[in-house]
Copies of this chain bind each other. A is one copy, B any other.
């Protein structure tokens, strides 16, 4: 990509235009993507002292600040370091109709580290590719620029900046390292650019030998690519669709669960106390060993998720955990990719986050109610797997509980709720409507289990007709998996 880049052959088709002209054209397109509700992400990366600030200034100049924003990515803050690599990017992706310009991006970490191991590099690029693919599939327009310059030019620019009383602070050790080891970085960057030039988000190399020309090129190309992207979003068909993989036999898994499992009162009380004490100890260990933990609860309405969560957390320090109940997304959340609101809530190291319902809503309620198109929820299985893999790679313990009850048991619980004044708030018309779609939910649960039951984030099916049995099973699994991950840390 840049190793064989010929500066002398760099041809700038936008050279004849004025920057203001191009900027105004971009501003018009901004109003268009706003009307169409399409998000745009422009990444400006490149060598140190290669004019990123200059180009960004020209990109942003004519834009309406109400729907555009420059985002800086350099060294992560301590809040960011405590969470998986992609968290900081998800947090700041543009909402629908907005343009975000990233000064550097996902690539900062890997580009900046000459000594990164192949394995780590590959994993990071895989993670980056997953976020870019997911955003692309969600109709985001992604544009990636890399500003390239000659070794000699770089040296001269650093010299000039060092002598500039206002701007000498721009020159950091990074600049000097890149200059002193230009050849090594050239190979390193080239390798990364090749690895991460995906069909849905290719890199565009820009010669920044002349700042003004680079700026025009970035402006002109951004305009062309946004126009192209609008076509794609309006056309729809050109998306890479992962196809529906055949019918799943209804109730195959869920239908074969032994819901008669129970536990006698005496055993329950003894076991519960013992397990809760163990769970408490494990939560403290997560704290001292800096282990993040995410627990997902899914299941039919009235399956007993809330009760199971209460028993699980009974003795845990509330300052080390957070229960995050998920219902319909609000206005802000609807303006982002569906995974965005979950990323926001992912716990830092040391903490436990318990999701009472989760991102699986995409392939459950959103599928059944038609809030997500078939294409969207079909794609979601893979997207979710990628996200969970990313969390796993960060060292997160992922536990996913599916609590199951049968239709008769649900009826008994609904009626019970309706008859008790203090529980009445727990039951709504929506619950009754969902009940009518019982069979559809069974199909959706089954497909979810088949497609997202990975070794890094396995599903644990909990037989829920007997509440006490279910609570113990949840606790047992937490303790068992908790011990396992703590022991891994020690070995």
Please tell me if A65 contacts chain B, counting CB pairs below 8 Å. yes
Distance of A103 Cα from B285 Cα, bound (Å): 20
Distance of A57 Cα from B276 Cα, bound (Å): 14
Binds B, one of A3-11, A116-124, A314-322: A314-322
Chain A residues numbered 291-332 whose CB sits less than 8 Å from any CB in chain B: 309-310, 314, 317-319, 322-325, 327, 330-332
Q: How many A residues touch the partner, as a band?
A: 35 or more
Binds B, one of A72-80, A220-228, A245-253, A265-273: A72-80
Chain A residues numbered 54-85 whose CB sits less than 8 Å from any CB in chain B: 56-57, 60-61, 64-66, 69-70, 72, 77-79
Give A331 Cβ to nearest chain B Cβ, in Å: 4
Identify the closest chain B residue to A335 (Cβ): B330
Decide: B280 and A318 in contact? CB cutoff 8 A. no
Give A315 Cβ to nearest chain B Cβ, in Å: 8
Distance of A325 Cα from B103 Cα, bound (Å): 21
Selected contact of A332 from candidates B61, B69, B319, B332, CB within 8 Å = B332
With A65-B325, A322-B70, A330-B331 already in contact, the answer to whether A31 and B425 are too (CB < 8 A) is yes
Q: Quick one: CB contact mask for A89-108 with B, threshold 8 Å, 1 for yes?
A: 00000000000000100000
Give A14 Cβ to nearest chain B Cβ, in Å: 20
Decide: A53 and B319 in contact? CB cutoff 8 A. yes
Chain A residues numbered 5-37 whose CB sits less than 8 Å from any CB in chain B: 24, 28, 31
Inter-chain contacts of A324 with B (CB < 8 A):
65
With A319-B103, A332-B330 already in contact, the answer to whether A28 and B422 are too (CB < 8 A) is yes
Inter-chain contacts of A425 with B (CB < 8 A):
31
Q: Quick one: CB contact mask for A276-292 with B, threshold 8 Å, 1 for yes?
A: 00001100110110000
Decide: A285 and B70 in contact? CB cutoff 8 A. no
Inter-chain contacts of A490 with B (CB < 8 A):
none
Please tell me if A238 contacts chain B, counting CB pairs below 8 Å. no
Please tell me if A356 contacts chain B, counting CB pairs below 8 Å. yes
Selected contact of A65 from candidates B66, B287, B323, B331, CB within 8 Å = B323
Decide: B284 and A318 in contact? CB cutoff 8 A. no
Please tell me if A169 contacts chain B, counting CB pairs below 8 Å. yes
Selected contact of A318 from candidates B28, B56, B281, B322, CB within 8 Å = B56
**Best-surrounded residue of A53, A319, A356 (most CB of chain B within 10 A):** A319
Please tell me if A115 contacts chain B, counting CB pairs below 8 Å. no
Please tell me if A167 contacts chain B, counting CB pairs below 8 Å. yes
**Best-surrounded residue of A24, A285, A317, A318 (most CB of chain B within 10 A):** A318
Distance of A284 Cα from B165 Cα, bound (Å): 10
Give A325 Cβ to nearest chain B Cβ, in Å: 4
Decide: A66 and B325 in contact? CB cutoff 8 A. yes
Selected contact of A79 from candidates B61, B77, B288, B309, CB within 8 Å = B77
Please tell me if A166 contacts chain B, counting CB pairs below 8 Å. yes
Inter-chain contacts of A61 with B (CB < 8 A):
310, 314
Inter-chain contacts of A70 with B (CB < 8 A):
318-319, 322
Give A326 Cβ to nearest chain B Cβ, in Å: 9
Distance of A330 Cα from B331 Cα, bound (Å): 8
With A78-B77, A166-B285 already in contact, the answer to whether A65 and B318 are too (CB < 8 A) is no
Decide: A66 and B332 in contact? CB cutoff 8 A. no
Can you list 27 A-B pairs with a CB-CB distance of less than 8 A? A24-B422, A28-B422, A31-B425, A53-B318, A56-B319, A57-B317, A61-B310, A64-B325, A65-B323, A65-B324, A65-B325, A65-B356, A66-B325, A70-B318, A70-B322, A72-B319, A77-B78, A77-B79, A78-B78, A78-B79, A79-B79, A166-B280, A166-B281, A166-B284, A166-B285, A331-B331, A332-B332
Interface residues of chain A, those whose CB is within 8 Å of chain B, are 24, 28, 31, 53, 56-57, 60-61, 64-66, 69-70, 72, 77-79, 103, 166-167, 169, 280-281, 284-285, 287-288, 309-310, 314, 317-319, 322-325, 327, 330-332, 356, 422, 425
